Amino acid sequence: MMRLRLTPHETVFYDLFTASAANVLEGAQTLRELISAQPHERDQLFRRLREQEHHGDDRTHNILREVNSTFVTPIDREDIYRLASRLDDVMDFFEAAGDLIVLYQLGTLPREIQDLADILVRAAELTSLAMPRLKSLTKLQDYWIEINRLENDADKLYRRFVARLFAGEFEALEVLKLKEVAEQMEAAADAFENVADTIETIAVKES
pLDDT in tens, 47-87: 999 999 999 999 999 999 998 888 778 888 999 999 999 99
Q: How far apart are CA 114 and CA 108, in angstroms?
A: 10
Mean pLDDT of all residues belonging to the chain: 93
Q: How far apart are CA 60 and CA 57, in angstroms?
A: 5
Domain boundaries, the chain: 12-206
pTM (two decimals) = 0.93
Predicted pLDDT of residue 7: 45
pLDDT higher than 90, residue 205: no
Query: Which is more confidently placed, 205 or 23?
Result: 23
Predicted pLDDT of residue 52: 98
pLDDT higher than 80, residue 2: no
CB atoms within 10 A of CB 138: 10
Predicted pLDDT of residue 120: 98
Task: Assess if CATH 3.40.80.10 describes domain 12-206.
Answer: no
Angle at 20 between CA 85 and CA 193, to 5 degrees: 55
What are the tens digits of pLDDT across the range 149-185? 999 999 999 999 999 999 999 999 999 999 999 999 9
| Cβ(161)–Cβ(114) below 8 Å | no
The mean pLDDT of 118-132, rounded to a whole number, is 97
